[in-house]
Amino acid sequence: MVHFVGAGPGAPDLITLRGARLLGEAGQVIYAGSLVNPELLELARPGTPCHDSASMTLEEVLALMEAGEERGWDTVRLHTGDPSLYGAIREQMDTLRERGIPFDVTPGVSSFSGAAAAIPAEYTLPGASQTVILTRMPGRTPVPEGEDLSALAAHGASMALFLSAGMAEEAARRLLAGGAYRLDTPAAIVYKATWPEERVFLCTLATLGETAEKNHITKTALILVGDFLGNDYRRSALYDPAFSHGFRRAKEEFR
């Protein structure tokens, strides 16, 4: 059986308990070496074959999985963050299904969660935004028409840009073109969230490009944008003494 496992954003203790258990039981591990913290491989039994997929093709990865299956091994396919985001797991799952190889998926802590914790910030801040847009700038993988950053930016929502740190200047241009963000809309670049090398650079849309350039940030970073990074917000209704809900009545003086 093949287990797709989210490795978390970097810190080895941010893998889930289930992910850690599956690593400990694996007959082989195939990990995305460009981003997965190699310390996680220590959770596998000593001597477990661990293959770095960074230099492999999809076909080579699938061949390893198939060979593992023939030996009766459990294969852990370790993807960074949560496998459902930019993980290229669909093509693997489809082929496994075709070949009759069973698989399951264990979620992970995505880097956009790790980045919020690093700041620390709350994406869904009342009075600022109640929506999070996870997207990217087009690279070698195009972004469908209609999802261009300038179109998404029209919402003024909280946004996390993956795979785009090397294009910060152009990202800022498109974000401003959407019309809802301003030059002084707060932004952040979070480099290697939850790793020992973690760095947080707070800036605005006006200074996003130069912030990335000055600090030589080209990869393993997220660009965060939105008023959730600012100081203007309303407190939550949930914990408001004047507000009743299923678990609590409003305090006497507010009724």
Closest to ligand SAH by CB, 73 or 85? 85
Residue sitting closest to ligand SAH (CB): 81
The CB-of-155 to ligand SAH minimum distance in angstroms stands at 21
Closest to ligand SAH by CB, 11 or 73? 11
Place of tokens 């258990």: 21
Q: Which residues contact 252 (CB under 8 A, 6 or more apart)?
A: none
87 is an interface residue for ligand SAH by CB under 6 A:
yes
Q: How far is CA 76 from the centre of its chain?
A: 20
How many residues would you count in the chain?
Answer: 255
Q: Which stretch binds ligand SAH (CB under 6 A): 48-56, 123-131, 216-224, 236-244?
A: 216-224
Closest to ligand SAH by CB, 10 or 69? 10
Residue from 121, 133, 31, 160 nearest 83 by CA: 31
Residue from 168, 170, 202, 199 nearest 184 by CA: 202
The residues facing 31 across adjacent strands are 52, 78
The CB-of-24 to ligand SAH minimum distance in angstroms stands at 22
Q: Which stretch binds ligand SAH (CB under 6 A): 65-73, 79-87, 171-179, 244-252?
A: 79-87
Answer whether 179's CB lies under 8 Å from 249's CB. no
Closest to ligand SAH by CB, 26 or 190? 190
Q: Which two structure tokens, joined as six digits, stand for 14?
A: 């941010």
159 is an interface residue for ligand SAH by CB under 6 A:
no
Q: Which stretch binds ligand SAH (CB under 6 A): 16-24, 80-88, 141-149, 208-216?
A: 80-88
Return d(Cα 32, Cα 11) in angstroms, integer.
15
Q: What residue type is assigned to position 81 of the chain?
A: G
β-pairing verdict for 75-79 and 28-31: parallel
The CB-of-244 to ligand SAH minimum distance in angstroms stands at 37
Exactly one of 220, 224, 226, 227 binds ligand SAH (CB under 6 A); that residue is 220
Closest to ligand SAH by CB, 162 or 228? 162
Return d(Cα 241, Cα 79) in angstroms, integer.
43
Q: Where do contacts with ligand SAH occur on this chain (CB under 6 A)?
A: 9-10, 35, 79-82, 85-87, 110-111, 114-115, 162-163, 190, 192-195, 219-222
